[in-house]
Amino acid sequence: MDYDNKLNDALKKAMTLCARRELCRRDIETKLEKWGIDASGSSKIIGLLIRDKFIDEKRYSSSFARDKFRQNKWGRIKIAVMLRMKRIDEETIKDALSAIDEEEYRATFRKLMENRRKTLKAKSDFELRSKLMKFAASKGFEAKLIYEMLGENE
C-alpha cells in the first residue's frame, strides 16, 4: 500500500471516529500516531477534519465540560485540568466552564457533599471536615466553594 492510500484510509477512519462522538485534535493525533501516520500526514488529515467541521475544539470542550459535570460530578478545576491535558487553549476552556450553570453547579456540589457525609465515619468533627475537604478537592471543586459549604453545615 502506498503512502497516499494509507493517508486516505487514515482520513476515512478518523472521519468515522469523529462522526460517532466528539473528539479533539489531540485525540486524533494520538490515533494517527498509533496508525503509523507521520507528522506531516497527521497535519494534513487534521487540517481537513477541522476544515470540514469533524473536529471543533470549542464544541468538544463544551460537550466535555457538560458531560463530566453532569455525569461524573466533576468540579471546574478537574474539568479544566483534563482539558489542558488535551491541549485545549485557555480561552476555549474558560468559555466551556462558563457555560455550566452556577445554580446547578452549587446544587450538585451540595448534594454530592451531603451524600458523601452520610457514608463517612469519623472520630471527630475535624476528621469529618478533613475527609469532606479531600473528597471535594479530588472531585475538582474550588477551595472557596468547599469552605463555603462546610461553613454552612456547622
Span 17-43, pLDDT tens digits: 999 999 999 999 999 999 999 999 999
When pLDDT is cut at 50, 70 and 90, the band that residue 127 belongs to is very high
pLDDT of residue 6: 87
Nearest Cα to 77, choosing from 21, 146, 153, 128?
A: 146
pLDDT tens digit sequence for 90-117: 999 999 999 999 999 999 999 999 999 9
- CA distances to 70, 96, 150 from 67, rounded to whole Å, are 5, 11, 26
pLDDT of residue 152: 58
Compute the mean pLDDT over every residue in the chain, rounded to the nearest whole number.
Answer: 93
Three cell numbers written together for 94? 474558560
Q: pLDDT over 70 for what percent of the chain? A: 97
Kindly list the domain boundaries of the chain, sorted by start residue: 3-55, 58-98, 102-152
CA dist., res. 12 & res. 102, Å (int)? 40
- CA distances to 9, 24, 90, 95, 104 from 53, rounded to whole Å, are 19, 11, 21, 19, 30
Question: Which fold is adopted by the domain 3-55?
Answer: Arc Repressor Mutant, subunit A (1.10.10)
pLDDT of residue 53: 94
List alpha helices for the chain, DSSP H.
3-20, 25-34, 39-51, 57-72, 76-85, 90-98, 102-119, 125-138, 143-152
